[in-house]
């Protein structure tokens, strides 16, 4: 259904929300921008806005463009020529042009220095373009893009045209071709050519009551646009070769362009068909890259920042989309059912302008930080521009159907991550400066990528984007891979080994996969001696959340690969696979790996660095992890919470049932009583017993204690939660508990999980309780053992010994890393685990740290290891 861009919009019923907004309301009394000035045009609507350093340009419903002095806010002049509403304005700074499109089905180009018309462009007419709702300009391609009412996308390359106005008689040769050839595809025509097109039955129609057939003069727009005043203005026609018909199933209301120079030009288009389409633009034309479905109303406004698209919709939602992974990140609910007609961005702040006259500001984490009533009516257009007097300050311009342009004083947001996106490296040699690793780590740590916090979900994505760009700067080919909706993406980066004579033979380069995670656990400020997200160096240690787990090791391995690459000594392909949900269950990880397995490619071995030494002084290699099974229990009475003084003794209490069945899980010596639980536990070898005795001397812990933590299974009851107010007189109607089991070689994960559930149900059934029990396995991970006779394991041990001058200790961990055994099974190769931190580095605790020595020497260990396995060749 057509939605006019005048004083009224047609509203549609709102569909249910599938992706709710998680935005918080953080605005305060002083957060609303100050109104500096108001510009007014009588009895008109401000449909479009543009600005340069000197002027503000406003496109009105009254068929002309007002030019306001940016310094004095006075009307400078009026640009006349269009015969329909001015639907879009774009300032092309590189050419000093103002581009305008109109309901009269023409595009005009104006010189912003002389304020004179330069060219008139007619769209390709064969199918009737209708109203030209949207424009975009690419400085790189010198091309204008036009979104049309008839659902087609058109474009025209203007690179060969001079910037200053020219008459037809003095135009270059390309402008002197006349229409006597009757060829509408020629690209340029004189004004008389407009009359040669065919009448369109819809766009050139008269009102139904007039009962007249369609003709090209029905709206009198094209006839007027060929008036005497335009005789000396060169006129161009977009050729048929520059048209894609029916790119949407609705009017193309909005466009936004991302022009990254040599990196490419991307165009996005939004339509009444509830979709946003992304196009790759080149000199040869445009190609569809992806189609985003927004589902809930026409897309009326678009802006792009970096890798993110924001689409304002008719239903009051703003869809936030990721350009690279092509996924929906967030739905911001501005106001249900109130059209979002314009969007503007400055830094990480998004300003939304709505049909109820409201403007709202959202931060980089999508929290609402300001909301105010800006216009008496509909806010139709908006623009952020610099101040004339102080170029480093900025103003928000908004236009409404009340005829006003409002000028608001706004403050750009502070950088979210303390300069995280500054260029990391500035070097001229084939090696990085010595402090590049710590400098990069300080930027990485500054991004609070806490995966368990919904309010920091966007920060996790920004950490992924940062890491992708960091790997690219270090020489890797990197990209983001989506996992599941609403979760953080994977970072896939590949350092390709240097070509060598070996590559010309039969043996391909080995391929090592490095697995890690860029997300971190929360870091409440209590207990920290410094800001956890500002890396701080003290007494040889780097402090900050993630320096040890796992951002420090990730960058140490990346710099090791990059250093070899720049010395032309990297004989291995190093594939980085870094996830962003490890600290809260790795949601979507396994499914994504299966989906992108072919893209990741063949893998010969896996390296992990996600733990610490057993002591402060002895380097280690981790060669075993326990598995884990997390189980949730719930016992409910189907009664409300009761008072113990009134109902105590008269009801079956869920709490007592829970205590009874939990007590059946272990005996008085903490041995697990599940039948068959210990049947397949692998017995210690004599060599392992000797190792534990040796480790006992290093750690001052008994050998039996180490063996129990690493080689024996265990069961833990983590908590008991109750419904109700939690005071001493309440009988809770529902009681929940969390139980986990750590498993070891050679226990079977699924068998133990099934046995646990069966045992709990049997214990509950024996109570003959009237209450109900629910048991669920929440997540699980298998145990893992390294292959000590693997040549790559031997190479890693040798690299550690060469760097540290001491034979590394072979240790295990009582904890679990679910992805390690999974990756081994998927890629059918062995994993290696190199801890870099020391035992007192406090990962997951306040004052998490990593020593400078361990970070740098960890990088050197990896460099030595990569050199060694390069000599072995691929094992595929």
Q: Exposure of 119 by Cβ count < 10 A (0-12 exposed, 13-18 middle, 19+ buried)?
A: buried
Please list the residues that pair with 138 across neighbouring strands.
143
Distance between CA atoms of 859 and 435, rounded to whole angstroms? Answer: 13
* Helix locations, 680-731, DSSP H: 686-699, 703-711
Q: Give the mean pLDDT of 393-412.
A: 95
Q: What confidence tier does 425 reach under pLDDT thresholds 50, 70, 90?
A: low
Q: What is the percentage of the chain residues whose pLDDT exceeds 70? A: 86
Backbone angles phi, psi at 46, to 5 degrees: -90, 100
What pLDDT, on a 0 to 100 scale, did the predictor assign at position 163?
Answer: 79
Q: Is 409 helix (H, G, I), strand (E, B) or coil?
A: strand
Q: What confidence tier does 199 reach under pLDDT thresholds 50, 70, 90?
A: low
Distance between CA atoms of 227 and 237, rounded to whole angstroms? Answer: 17
* Helix locations, 404-544, DSSP H: 436-445, 457-474, 501-504
Segment 564-616, tens digit of pLDDT: 999 999 999 999 999 999 999 899 999 999 999 999 999 999 999 999 999 99
What pLDDT, on a 0 to 100 scale, did the predictor assign at position 417?
Answer: 72
The answer, yes or no, to whether residue 11 has pLDDT greater than 50, is no
Q: Is 262 helix (H, G, I), strand (E, B) or coil?
A: helix
Q: Is 105 helix (H, G, I), strand (E, B) or coil?
A: coil
Q: What confidence tier does 390 reach under pLDDT thresholds 50, 70, 90?
A: confident
Name the DSSP class of 240: G
Tally the C-alpha atoms within 13 A of residue 236's C-alpha that lie toward its C-beta. Answer: 24
What pLDDT, on a 0 to 100 scale, did the predictor assign at position 175?
Answer: 45
Six token digits for residue 721:
């939660």
Q: Give the mean pLDDT of 491-516.
A: 81
- For this structure, is 582 an active site residue? yes
CA–CA distances in Å: residue 286 to residues 94, 494, 691, 870: 22, 29, 65, 43
- For this structure, is 519 an active site residue? yes
* Helix locations, 424-539, DSSP H: 436-445, 457-474, 501-504
Segment 255-285, tens digit of pLDDT: 999 998 888 999 999 999 999 999 999 999 9
What pLDDT, on a 0 to 100 scale, did the predictor assign at position 431?
Answer: 59
What pLDDT, on a 0 to 100 scale, did the predictor assign at position 198?
Answer: 54
Between 270 and 166, the more confident residue is 270
Please list the residues that pair with 738 across neighbouring strands.
632, 719
Q: What confidence tier does 700 reach under pLDDT thresholds 50, 70, 90?
A: confident
What pLDDT, on a 0 to 100 scale, did the predictor assign at position 306?
Answer: 86
Q: pTM for this structure? A: 0.83
Q: What is the 3-state secondary structure (H, E, C) of 56-94?
A: EEEEECCCCEEEEECCCCCEEEEECCCCCCEEEEEEECC
Long-range contacts formed by 531-534: CB under 8 A, 24+ apart: 532/846, 532/848, 533/445, 533/446, 533/447, 533/448, 534/418, 534/442, 534/445, 534/446
Q: What confidence tier does 415 reach under pLDDT thresholds 50, 70, 90?
A: confident
Q: Exposure of 857 by Cβ count < 10 A (0-12 exposed, 13-18 middle, 19+ buried)?
A: middle
Of 89-103, 155-169, 446-460, 628-642, give the lowest mean pLDDT range. 155-169
Task: Report the mean per-residue pLDDT for the chain.
Answer: 87
What pLDDT, on a 0 to 100 scale, did the predictor assign at position 217?
Answer: 56
What pLDDT, on a 0 to 100 scale, did the predictor assign at position 294?
Answer: 87
Q: Which residues contact 358 (CB under 8 A, 6 or more apart)?
A: 334, 335, 338, 371, 372, 373, 374, 379
Judge contact between 380 and 6, C-beta under 8 A.
no
Segment 42-79, tens digit of pLDDT: 888 999 999 999 999 999 988 999 999 999 999 999 99
DSSP E strands in 112-186: the ranges are 116-122, 132-138, 143-148, 153-157
Distance between CA atoms of 439 and 472, rounded to whole angstroms? Answer: 16
Judge contact between 734 and 639, C-beta under 8 A.
no
User: Which of these is catalytic: 307, 459, 519, 797?
Assistant: 519
Please list the residues that pair with 499 across neighbouring strands.
none
Please list the residues that pair with 46 across neighbouring strands.
60
CA–CA distances in Å: residue 507 to residues 501, 752, 795, 843: 10, 43, 19, 41
Q: What confidence tier does 170 reach under pLDDT thresholds 50, 70, 90?
A: very low
Of 139-143, 233-237, 476-480, 747-751, give the lowest mean pLDDT range. 233-237
Give the closest residue to 632 by CA, choosing from 718, 715, 713, 714.
Answer: 718
Q: Give the mean pLDDT of 292-305.
A: 91
Q: What is the 3-state secondary structure (H, E, C) of 272-317?
A: CCCEEEEEEEECCEEEEEEEEECCCCCEEEEEEECCEEEEEECCCE
Distance between CA atoms of 341 and 353, rounded to whole angstroms? Answer: 6
Q: Is 442 helix (H, G, I), strand (E, B) or coil?
A: helix
Q: What confidence tier does 724 reach under pLDDT thresholds 50, 70, 90?
A: confident
Distance between CA atoms of 876 and 829, rounded to whole angstroms? Answer: 9
Judge contact between 130 and 83, C-beta under 8 A.
no
**Residue range 627-678+713-781 in CATH 3.30.70.360:** yes
Q: What confidence tier does 421 reach under pLDDT thresholds 50, 70, 90?
A: low
Six token digits for residue 624:
């075993």
What pLDDT, on a 0 to 100 scale, did the predictor assign at position 215?
Answer: 63
What pLDDT, on a 0 to 100 scale, did the predictor assign at position 5?
Answer: 38
DSSP string, 21-63: ----B---TT-SPEEEEEEE-TT--EEEEEE-SSEEEEEETTS
Q: Exposure of 850 by Cβ count < 10 A (0-12 exposed, 13-18 middle, 19+ buried)?
A: buried
- The angle at the Cα of 570, spanning 564 to 574, to the nearest 5 degrees, equals 100
Give the closest residue to 80 by CA, choosing from 95, 62, 96.
Answer: 62
Distance between CA atoms of 857 and 182, rounded to whole angstroms? Answer: 75
Segment 313-366, tens digit of pLDDT: 998 999 999 999 999 989 999 999 999 999 999 988 999 999 999 999 999 888
Fold of 436-616+810-854: Aminopeptidase (3.40.630)
What pLDDT, on a 0 to 100 scale, did the predictor assign at position 22?
Answer: 59
CATH top class, domain 81-293 = mainly beta
Distance between CA atoms of 830 and 484, rounded to whole angstroms? Answer: 27
Backbone angles phi, psi at 292, to 5 degrees: -95, 130
Secondary-structure breakdown of the chain: helix, strand, coil percentages, each rounded to the nearest 5: 20, 35, 45
What pLDDT, on a 0 to 100 scale, did the predictor assign at position 801?
Answer: 97
Of 232-246, 431-445, 511-525, 656-670, give the lowest mean pLDDT range. 431-445
Six token digits for residue 273:
């068909």
Of 61-70, 629-638, 646-655, 694-703, give the lowest mean pLDDT range. 694-703
The answer, yes or no, to whether residue 634 has pLDDT greater than 90, is yes
337 Rama sector, left if φ>0, alpha if ψ -120 to 50, beta otherwise: left
Distance between CA atoms of 855 and 438, rounded to whole angstroms? Answer: 9
Between 233 and 840, the more confident residue is 840
Q: Exposure of 367 by Cβ count < 10 A (0-12 exposed, 13-18 middle, 19+ buried)?
A: middle
Please list the residues that pair with 147 across neighbouring strands.
134, 153
User: Which of these is catalytic: 274, 349, 582, 803?
Assistant: 582
Judge contact between 392 and 37, C-beta under 8 A.
no
Q: Which residues contact 590 (CB under 8 A, 6 or more apart)?
A: 822
- The angle at the Cα of 806, spanning 804 to 808, to the nearest 5 degrees, equals 95
Using N-to-C axis directions, what is the helix angle for 852-870 and 551-566, rounded to 10°? 50
Q: What is the percentage of the chain residues whose pLDDT exceeds 90? A: 72
Residue ranges covered by each domain of the chain:
81-293, 436-616+810-854, 627-678+713-781
Q: Which residues contact 377 (CB under 8 A, 6 or more apart)?
A: 7, 357, 400, 401, 402
Q: Which residues contact 598 (CB under 8 A, 6 or more apart)?
A: none
Q: What confidence tier does 307 reach under pLDDT thresholds 50, 70, 90?
A: confident
Q: What confidence tier does 499 reach under pLDDT thresholds 50, 70, 90?
A: low
What pLDDT, on a 0 to 100 scale, did the predictor assign at position 86?
Answer: 96
What pLDDT, on a 0 to 100 scale, did the predictor assign at position 296?
Answer: 73
């Amino acid at each position: 259904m057509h939605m006019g861009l005048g004083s009224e919009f047609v509203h549609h019923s709102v569909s249910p929300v599938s992706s709710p907004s998680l935005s918080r309301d953080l605005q305060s009394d002083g957060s609303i921008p100050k109104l500096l000035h108001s510009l007014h045009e009588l009895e008109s609507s401000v449909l479009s806005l543009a600005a340069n350093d000197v002027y503000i340009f406003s496109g009105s419903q009254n068929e002309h463009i007002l030019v306001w002095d940016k310094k004095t806010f006075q009307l400078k002049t009026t640009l006349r020529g269009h015969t329909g509403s001015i639907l879009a304005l774009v300032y092309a700074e590189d050419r000093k042009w103002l581009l305008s499109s109109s309901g009269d089905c023409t595009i005009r180009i104006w010189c912003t220095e002389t304020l004179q018309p330069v060219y008139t462009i007619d769209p390709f007419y064969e199918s009737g373009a209708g109203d030209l709702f949207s424009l975009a300009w690419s400085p790189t391609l010198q091309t204008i893009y036009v979104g049309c009412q008839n659902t087609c996308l058109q474009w025209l390359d203007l690179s060969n045209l001079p910037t200053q106005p020219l008459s037809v008689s003095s135009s270059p040769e390309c402008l002197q071709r006349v229409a006597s050839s009757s060829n509408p595809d020629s690209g340029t025509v004189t004004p008389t050519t407009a009359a040669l097109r065919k009448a369109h039955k819809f766009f050139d129609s008269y009102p139904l009551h007039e009962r007249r057939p369609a003709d090209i003069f029905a709206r009198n727009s094209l006839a007027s646009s060929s008036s005497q005043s335009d005789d000396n203005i060169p006129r161009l026609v977009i050729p048929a070769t520059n048209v894609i018909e029916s790119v949407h199933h609705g009017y193309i209301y909005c466009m936004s362009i991302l022009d990254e120079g040599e990196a490419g030009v991307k165009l996005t288009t939004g339509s009444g068909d509830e979709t946003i389409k992304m196009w790759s633009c080149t000199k040869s034309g445009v190609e569809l890259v992806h189609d985003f479905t927004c589902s809930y109303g026409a897309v009326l406004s678009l802006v792009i920042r970096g890798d993110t698209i924001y689409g304002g919709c008719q239903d009051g939602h703003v869809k936030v989309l990721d350009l690279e992974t092509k996924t929906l990140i967030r739905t911001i609910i501005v106001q249900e059912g109130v059209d979002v007609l314009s969007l503007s961005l400055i830094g990480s702040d998004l300003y939304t302008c709505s049909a109820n006259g409201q403007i709202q500001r959202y931060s980089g984490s999508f929290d609402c930080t300001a909301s105010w009533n800006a216009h008496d009516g509909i806010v139709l257009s908006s623009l952020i521009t610099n101040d004339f007097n102080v170029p480093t300050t900025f103003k928000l311009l908004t236009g409404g159907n009340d005829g006003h342009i409002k000028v608001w004083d706004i403050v750009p947001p502070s950088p979210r991550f303390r300069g995280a996106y500054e260029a990391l490296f500035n070097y001229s040699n084939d090696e990085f400066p010595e402090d590049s690793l710590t400098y990069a780590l300080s930027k990485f740590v500054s991004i609070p990528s806490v995966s368990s916090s919904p309010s920091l979900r966007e920060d996790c994505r920004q950490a992924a984007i940062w890491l992708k760009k960091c790997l690219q700067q270090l020489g890797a080919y990197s990209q983001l891979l989506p996992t599941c909706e609403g979760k953080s993406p994977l970072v896939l980066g590949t350092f390709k080994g240097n070509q060598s004579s070996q590559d010309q033979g039969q043996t391909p380069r080995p391929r090592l996969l490095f697995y890690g995670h860029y997300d971190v656990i929360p870091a409440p400020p209590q207990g920290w001696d410094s800001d956890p997200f500002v890396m701080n160096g003290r007494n040889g240690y780097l402090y900050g959340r993630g320096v040890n787990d796992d951002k420090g090791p990730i960058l140490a391995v990346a710099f090791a690969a990059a250093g070899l690459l720049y010395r032309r000594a990297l004989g291995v392909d190093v594939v980085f696979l870094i996830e962003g949900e490890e600290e809260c269950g790795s949601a979507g990880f396994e499914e994504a790996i299966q989906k992108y397995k072919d893209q990741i490619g063949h893998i010969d071995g896996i390296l992990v660095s996600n733990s610490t030494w057993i002591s402060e002084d002895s380097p280690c290699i981790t060669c075993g992890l326990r598995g884990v099974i997390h189980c949730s229990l719930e016992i409910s009475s189907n009664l409300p919470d009761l008072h113990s003084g009134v109902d105590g003794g008269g009801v079956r209490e869920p709490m007592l049932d829970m205590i009874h069945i939990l007590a059946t899980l272990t005996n008085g010596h903490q041995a697990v009583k599940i039948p068959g639980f210990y049947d397949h536990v692998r017995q210690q070898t004599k060599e392992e017993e000797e190792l534990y005795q040796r480790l006992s001397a290093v750690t001052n812990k008994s050998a039996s204690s180490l063996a129990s933590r690493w080689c024996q299974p265990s069961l833990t009851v983590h908590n008991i939660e109750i419904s109700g107010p939690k005071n001493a007189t309440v009988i809770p109607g529902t009681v929940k508990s969390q139980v986990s089991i750590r498993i070891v070689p050679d226990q079977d994960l699924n068998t133990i999980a099934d046995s646990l559930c069966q045992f709990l149900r049997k214990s509950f059934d024996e109570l003959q309780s009237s209450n109900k029990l629910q048991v669920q396995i929440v997540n699980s991970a298998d145990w893992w053992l390294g292959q000590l006779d693997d040549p790559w394991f031997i190479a890693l041990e040798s690299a550690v010994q060469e760097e540290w001058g001491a034979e590394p200790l072979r240790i295990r961990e009582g904890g679990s890393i679910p992805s390690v055994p999974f990756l081994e099974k998927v890629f059918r190769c062995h994993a290696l685990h190199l801890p870099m931190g020391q035992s007192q580095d406090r990962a997951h605790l306040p004052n998490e740290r990593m020593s400078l020595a361990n970070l740098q020497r960890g990088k050197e260990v990896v460099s030595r290891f990569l050199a060694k396995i390069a000599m072995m060749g691929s094992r595929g």
